[in-house]
Structure 1
Amino acid sequence: MHDAPSQKEMIAAVKAFIDDTAMPNLKGHAAFHARVASNVLATVLRELEIRPLAENDERERLSSLLNADQNMTISELNLKLCELLRQGELGLDTPGLLEHLKTTTIAQLSIDQPNYSGLPSD
């Protein structure tokens, strides 16, 4: 049985130390850098929590939108999407494209900027 702390637990512990112990005792530049470190760790935690499902959903949307091989990677699918957009074979009038772009952007913002005012509230 593997009982070591998970990546999430270890990152959360370091973030809690910075937030609760280190940051209250720091001033000036050191306090600023502690806040930056805390924000980076929060982003990593959201990456671990949100990214896998978001990428799976994105892959499914792209595969459907592009009628692509289910074995293509998300990078390959995005390259194909860009190519078709550049060639004018897809556009905002393409059914499902605008919804895909919005959904993908919202998923990314949920990781990078979860307090962004334009994000839908849960």
Structure 2
Amino acid sequence: MSLTSTAAYVARRAAQKEKVRILYRRALKDTLNWAVHRHLFYDDASNLRDRFEQNKHVEDPDTIDRLIADAEASYNKWRHPDPYIVPWAPGGSKFTRNPPPPEGDKFFHSMGEIYIEPYARC
């Protein structure tokens, strides 16, 4: 095996490992969206881990690519239609509810009133 093909093989395997890791994390987080109670989530998470562990021994890069494609298709099919979003995260109900004041303005509180003094802009 030449040095070029070895480097290409190692790079392809590294990319596949990263795809599997990302897919597992997304699927695990989505499993939490489907679980009503935490004890149900633990069972589902264990089943998900077992599904990933079944193909841990596969070495053929083409077979791995096919397995990744099948797993992504299955994930997209069973993805939660209304996932939980932390309120202050992008897409959450409180995201940018109280945006920070515009830069360049100073706020002075005096006797319960707010005075705004803009910076001198040159």
TM over 0.5: same fold?
no
User: Which has the larger Rg?
Assistant: 2
Please state which structure has a larger fraction of its residues in helix.
1
Q: TM-score, normalised by structure 1?
A: 0.31
User: TM-score, structure 2 length as denominator?
Assistant: 0.31
Higher strand share: 2
Q: Which has the higher contact order (CA 8 A, sep 6+)?
A: 1
